[in-house]
Amino acid sequence: MARLQARGVRLPRTERRAQLLAAAQRVFAANGYHAAAMDEIAEEAGVSKPVLYQHFPGKLDLYIALLESHVDELVRRVKDALDSTTDNKQRVPATVGAFFDFVNNDAGAFRMVFESDLRGEPAVQEAVDRATSASVDAITETITADAGLDEDKARLLAVGLVGLSQVSARFWLAHHKSMSREEAVALTANLAWRGIGGGFPLQH
């Protein structure tokens, strides 16, 4: 019914784009990139194929736009976690939790970011790399300011925290959530905090 109602309804460009991206997410998640068809995405969105092509010239353009939106979401979650408190002991679980929430919120989203099978495409690889680099940049800035480390050392710690968080979150999800999100985040954050908090205390 929703698809039928969508046909013929003129939406502002930003709303239409969001609608098309949501439909594409469902189709890509169900079929994978290669088996997904623009006709099917248009049908899922409840629009004509020409309307879809007005916004996205091709399937790869649509995929990259969707991937970029997921990367933006992840980076926003990480930055919000870092800004949520000035207590570094709380920042670590908040940041770890950002990755767990991203992974748990939409399996299709995290798989596009961390498990994309289109990394041979330069634009896709660039977006995937940004998911890590932008998160690392944000954490590096915080560690540099609060722990008094030079940028190279802070960046290495940031890379470790990002890697630990996203791999642990994906493992937790893949193993049918054998423990609660809270327990999994606490265990992962405790491991990270013992290294960062114990070795590099807050500088005043």
- Return the half-sphere exposure (C-beta side, CA atoms, 13 A cut-off) of residue 33: 19
Q: Tens digit of pLDDT for each residue in 104-129? A: 987 789 989 998 889 889 999 999 99
The pTM score is 0.85
**11-57 maps to CATH 3.40.50.10610:** no
> Is residue 10 scored above 80 in pLDDT?
no
CB 149 within 8 A of CB 195: no
Residue 135: what residue type? S
> Is residue 13 scored above 90 in pLDDT?
no
User: Over the chain, what is the mean pLDDT?
Assistant: 88
pLDDT at 3: 47
Over residues 152-159, mean pLDDT: 92
pLDDT at 9: 61
Over residues 149-160, mean pLDDT: 90
- pLDDT greater at residue 197 or residue 58: 58
CB 158 within 8 A of CB 146: no
- pLDDT greater at residue 127 or residue 147: 127
> Is residue 177 scored above 90 in pLDDT?
no
pLDDT at 195: 61
CA proximity to 77, closest of 164, 138, 158, 156? 138
Q: Where are the alpha helices (DSSP H) in 84-121?
A: 88-105, 107-114
Domain ranges of the chain: 11-57, 63-194
CA distances 77 to 65, 94, 123, 143, 202, Å, are 19, 9, 23, 17, 23
Q: Which CATH class is domain 63-194?
A: mainly alpha
pLDDT at 12: 84
Over residues 60-69, mean pLDDT: 95
> Is residue 11 scored above 50 in pLDDT?
yes
Q: How many CB atoms lie within 10 A of CB 48?
A: 13
Phi, then psi, of 104 in degrees rounded to 5: -80, -25
The residue written with tokens 């998640």 in the block is 29
